[in-house]
Structure 1
Amino acid sequence: MNTLTSKTPFLASEGVSVQFFDRDTPVLREMNVEIAKNEAVLLLGPSGSGKSTLLQVLSGIIPRSIEAWFKGTVIRPERVGVMFQDPDAQFCMLTVEDEIAFSLENRLVPRAQMRGIIEQVMRDVRLEVPLTTPIRELSGGLKQRLALACLLALEPEVLFVDEPTAQLDPLNTQLVIEDLRRLKGQKTLVMIEHKLDGVVEWVDRVLLFNATGQLVAQGNPREILRDHAQMIREYGIWQPKLWPVTWDEMLATVKHPLADRLEHQLAVQANSIGATLASDGKLLEQTQSDPHVSKAPILEVREASLRYKNGHVVWQGLNVSVQPGEWVAILGPNGAGKSTFLKLVGGLIEPTKGQVQVKGKTLSRYRTPELYDTVGFVFQNPEHQFIADTVFEEVAFGGKVAGWAQERIEQESVQLLTDFRLLDLRDKNPFTLSQGQKRRLSVAGMLLKRQEVLLLDEPTFGQDAATTAELLQRMQERNEAGTTILMATHDVELVAEYATRVLVIGEGKLLYDGRPHALFQQPDLLQRASLTAPLAYEYQLRRREQAAKDQGGHDSAKHEEPALVGRNSSEQKEGDLRV
């Protein structure tokens, strides 16, 4: 589509090009887009392809609030709302009630009418907290629902949504997507979202971008994902894990291709822990030996508790011992204290009670440079660790502090920039990069010194499939070379494939400490921790339930129950579950 229709469109861009002042090439090139009223549109493309830039152009953020060279025409209705990845970036008040009231004040709603509207929009997004709740006390999922409530209070005609589930656990991801789906047909929705399952089923149209900021295709989701499958794979764009296949179709089809792939994944993951599977997927045996067991743990957390000044207990009585070379994933619901746990073992905060030791030495006895020669930390928000003016200097910083020779610094920094596809940005300011590029830079900068322990807080969130694969490959190489990894994440597929061990934090304590394979066969525990099982394990569960029905209904289902470790079992302890 080269020009807009003769009738004035509801939302559109014509001939829009955008180039940031520190870049040599445009982010968007001659972008022509037209979106109808109440249409739901998904922007799809690799990291750095200009999706967020187009969203900012259509919403008016560019050039009104973000400076850039801009050419073209944009048509939009008067009232629009924008929902960002990080909800904290759009809050300006202290409590839930005041934040929503701020939206109403912008509409000049009389104060006497505010309370009823505030309570209604909170019901609409299932935000069931007291009006006086401080925003800082909300979990990530509740913050996103508050952000959506604030936007609904503005009564926008268009809702722009930029990766709203990037930092959310599986349960809150599902809730936020359901809230957005209910708005379909009531609002015009323009979305960027990497987690396609739950989204492609209901959006009207997909706009597909290439890596150079050009719109290469648009159409209904099924056509785009089918007709451009090769390009989507080449660009490393995430694809739905299940859709358009349904569970009923897969279970009813003998040797469905997807089922074969999932069964292979299960067998590989079971084999990695010395287990074998029966033909129906049951765990037959499991070797308890651990290749990383050592007499000298590299990290120990002893009876650690953390209480905030306001009296809130994050968790208490945590006991964790990590052996050299382990890859430990930290799972749990939003607000459970996963990031806080990493900060604790990284020496950024002190426990209210208990202690942390690294290589047998209490953290309080370490000098800061000495500690960070051993421990590296990648923050959830990449910008929190940027300290240099250029991409190259950001990666090279650790080598300069360590007193490396300039030739070594140059060689190893360039290699990391090449590995993470950042070399052409070496002279750019880190804060001007896209979100995906910032994340790659934050990881690259922490890999230079090859510390013995690497702490990673959501290292893959908001990344396309290609970038995620690259990050994991680099981390796997370091892990195989002996680096111990502790990683907080919501990505259960990643955990199933890479982690050797899982800690589940929730309800103010350690709920689980053991192998990923055993965790994902405990539906009750997963539900308590707001987690979902990887697709292969979900298939395993559904297949057993289907077999139970075929063998005689309820009684057979009860007979099959022990195959799922801990499922609906009164013997399952609420404390640590050691496998």
Structure 2
Amino acid sequence: MNEGTKTPFLGCERVSVQFFDRETPVLKEMSVQIEEKESVLLLGPSGSGKSTLAQVLSGIIPRSIEAWMKGNVYRPERVGVMFQDPDAQFCMLTVEDEIAFSLENRRVPPAQMRGEIQRLMREVRLDLPLNKQIAELSGGLKQRLALACLLALEPDVLFFDEPTAQLDPENTRLVLQDIAQLRGEKTLVVIEHKLESVMEWIDRVLLFGPDGSLQGTGKPEDVLRDHAQAIRDYGIWTPRMWPVTWEELLRDPQHELAQRLQSTPPAPNPVDKTEPLLEVRELRMSYRGGANVWSDVNVSVQPGEWVAVMGPNGAGKSTFLKAVGGLLPVSGGQVLLKGKELGKYKPEALYDRVGFVFQNPEHQFIADTVYEEVAFGGKLARWPQEQVERETTQLLADFHLEALASKNPFTLSQGQKRRLSVAGMLLKNQELLLLDEPTFGQDAATTRELVERIRERNENGTTVMMATHDVELVAETASRVLVFAEHGLLFDGTPQELFTQPDLLARAALIEPLAYEYRRRQAAQEEGSVYA
């Protein structure tokens, strides 16, 4: 670390930050120093101030986000920030124009731009036509384009705020690989829940407590070891395996992790197979230009099923949920709910039966306060005031939102916004609940609680259809999986059937859950196979 009177390369001294609608600071007397070309991971539970610190260090607070702040901040002149949602930072229509916009900010001569753009695209493995429309890119390609745009600015520091939150496993691997290659060249400040491919190249971890205080700092292995109990108490995600190796696990079946991986997943709830709740017949969805997103999709969902919808970025998972939820007109085919076409339902009757949680929580917020957002459905249904208050208060407690009841939903952290979006949809006991990436951006404790709330509804008869990239979540909860890839429905079956087909997983940009990989490796070892 920098010593004496030398100004640190990047850091802050006794910084406190409080947003104007909050009674308490998000950060309290925070002092941090980051060395040039150091790679630092900000680790902590949802709402602990990780993003706020990154915004302070990068200058977004107070330059673009208004907040009360005191203390000193040091940073180099050129910084770049990559957010969860790459669309939030794009301002042009095509790949070439977006990267050129960054080069223009550096006053690169027009004659040199084409060569620079092509070099940057090669650097992040973006093999696309220069005139490709950004709107047509998958989430993974958008994030790699965002990285190319940041590198075009030649920043001294790069901030990454959960850059893989919305990506499938394969694109997660590629994006983290691109970021890892910058280690030693740039100063990297990373916020990330998917730690398996991060810990190997991180120099230092800053551990946050729920109150916005710094609880510890050090090498990744030291922080995970020395603060293990606090990390469990705070509900922070930890790596699936690291620093444990497959060799260790296979050599010692009594290892704590090996014992956990050998446990049998819970059996799915029994379902009523008499009459389908939802039927999809020859469904087709096309882009405006005529190309199919997917076609010839036939699905029948029974009451009480928990159906996971999976596949690579851009395969049409969210589109499928919106189609069966009546939010998006289809190009062909039929969707029937309880034997009746969606188009024949009045909107209020349809949404008494179907609830939808959007991938972007902000797309469903309509009230001025957190309390009113949760209570809205009950008031719209003209429930008695006592019932609205009772049910709303219980949901706020279940999702740890009581202290935020009077706050505007748009001022919450990303994790808090996600919890609010799910809580608002759980107020009414709809027969079908459609969830688009319900757990992304959540810490481990909140994810467990959120899943438990959904599981309770499922056990009481609610049919759940959930789009997700989280293979561990699917293995734990789903009774059935639909996999969209290659412009169609590639797979329809149980998680056990899906996760034992490596070729199919590769085609869908998915990976095995850890327990499945352990059992496969264990069986291969017993047969005398050698793993590279």
Task: Provide the rounded CA distance (Å) in 2 between the counterparts of 1:484 and 1:103.
Answer: 47
Q: 2:518 aligns with which of 509, 529, 539?
A: 539
Map 1:213-224 onto structure 2 (within 5 A).
Answer: 213-224=212-223
Assess if the C-alpha contact under 8 Å between 1:395 and 1:445 holds in 2: yes
User: CA offset at residue 544 of structure 1?
Assistant: 2.5
Which residue in 2 is equivalent to 1:22?
21
**Is residue 2:485 matched to residue 1:506?**
yes
Assess if the C-alpha contact under 8 Å between 2:253 and 2:259 holds in 1: no
Assess if the C-alpha contact under 8 Å between 1:458 and 1:490 holds in 2: yes
Moved beyond 3 Å, runs of 4+: none
Task: Provide the rounded CA distance (Å) in 1 between the counterparts of 2:516 and 2:345.
Answer: 43
Which residue in 1 is equivalent to 2:294?
315
Which residue in 1 is equivalent to 2:359?
380
Once the two structures are superposed, residues 457-495 of structure 1 have per-residue CA deviations (whole angstroms, 9 ceiling, x without a partner) of: 000001000110111000000000000000000000000
Kindly provide the amino acid, as one letter, of the partner of residue 26 in structure 1. P
Task: Check 1:451–1:300 CA distance in 2 against 1; reply closer, same or farther (3 A cut).
Answer: same
Which residue in 2 is equivalent to 1:367?
346
Identity %: 69
Which residue in 2 is equivalent to 1:268?
265
Secondary structure of residue in 2 paired with 1:46: coil
Unaligned runs of at least 5 residues, structure 1:
274-289, 555-579
User: CA offset at residue 312 of structure 1?
Assistant: 2.4
Once the two structures are superposed, residues 413-471 of structure 1 have per-residue CA deviations (whole angstroms, 9 ceiling, x without a partner) of: 01100110001111100000000000000000000011010000000001000110111
Which residue in 2 is equivalent to 1:184?
183
Assess if the C-alpha contact under 8 Å between 2:311 and 2:508 holds in 1: yes
Assess if the C-alpha contact under 8 Å between 2:270 and 2:304 holds in 1: no
Assess if the C-alpha contact under 8 Å between 1:4 and 1:14 holds in 2: no
Task: Provide the rounded CA distance (Å) in 2 between the counterparts of 1:4 and 1:64.
Answer: 29
Assess if the C-alpha contact under 8 Å between 1:170 and 1:530 holds in 2: yes
**Is residue 2:451 matched to residue 1:485?**
no
Once the two structures are superposed, residues 533-564 of structure 1 have per-residue CA deviations (whole angstroms, 9 ceiling, x without a partner) of: 100111122223323335xx79xxxxxxxxxx
Map 1:97-136 onto structure 2 (within 5 A).
Answer: 97-136=96-135
Q: 1:413 aligns with which of 392, 400, 417?
A: 392
Task: Check 1:90–1:5 CA distance in 2 against 1; reply closer, same or farther (3 A cut).
Answer: farther
Which residue in 2 is equivalent to 1:393?
372
Map 1:436-447 onto structure 2 (within 5 A).
Answer: 436-447=415-426
Task: Provide the rounded CA distance (Å) in 1 between the counterparts of 2:253 and 2:355.
Answer: 48
Kindly provide the amino acid, as one letter, of the partner of residue 482 in structure 2. L
Task: Provide the rounded CA distance (Å) in 1 between the counterparts of 2:117 and 2:468.
Answer: 33
Kindly provide the amino acid, as one letter, of the partner of residue 53 in structure 1. T
Assess if the C-alpha contact under 8 Å between 1:4 and 1:34 holds in 2: no
User: CA offset at residue 250 of structure 1?
Assistant: 1.6
Unaligned runs of at least 5 residues, structure 2:
none
Which residue in 2 is equivalent to 1:250?
249
Map 1:164-243 onto structure 2 (within 5 A).
Answer: 164-243=163-242
Which residue in 2 is equivalent to 1:54?
53
Which residue in 1 is equivalent to 2:330?
351
User: CA offset at residue 253 of structure 1?
Assistant: 2.8
User: CA offset at residue 349 of structure 1?
Assistant: 0.9
User: CA offset at residue 293 of structure 1?
Assistant: 4.3
User: CA offset at residue 376 of structure 1?
Assistant: 0.2
User: CA offset at residue 259 of structure 1?
Assistant: 1.5
Assess if the C-alpha contact under 8 Å between 1:455 and 1:486 holds in 2: yes
User: CA offset at residue 404 of structure 1?
Assistant: 0.6
User: CA offset at residue 4 of structure 1?
Assistant: 7.2
Task: Provide the rounded CA distance (Å) in 2 between the counterparts of 1:86 and 1:386.
Answer: 18
Task: Provide the rounded CA distance (Å) in 2 between the counterparts of 1:438 and 1:5.
Answer: 42
Once the two structures are superposed, residues 120-146 of structure 1 have per-residue CA deviations (whole angstroms, 9 ceiling, x without a partner) of: 111111111111000000000000000
Which residue in 1 is equivalent to 2:86?
87
Which residue in 1 is equivalent to 2:320?
341
Secondary structure of residue in 2 paired with 1:268: coil
Kindly provide the amino acid, as one letter, of the partner of residue 508 in structure 2. A
Assess if the C-alpha contact under 8 Å between 1:56 and 1:62 holds in 2: yes
User: CA offset at residue 254 of structure 1?
Assistant: 4.5
Task: Provide the rounded CA distance (Å) in 2 between the counterparts of 1:377 and 1:7.
Answer: 54
Assess if the C-alpha contact under 8 Å between 2:44 and 2:210 holds in 1: yes
Secondary structure of residue in 1 paired with 2:215: strand
Kindly provide the amino acid, as one letter, of the partner of residue 475 in structure 2. A
Task: Check 1:107–1:514 CA distance in 2 against 1; reply closer, same or farther (3 A cut).
Answer: same
- How many residue pairs get matched? 531
Task: Provide the rounded CA distance (Å) in 2 between the counterparts of 1:163 and 1:543.
Answer: 33
User: CA offset at residue 109 of structure 1?
Assistant: 0.2
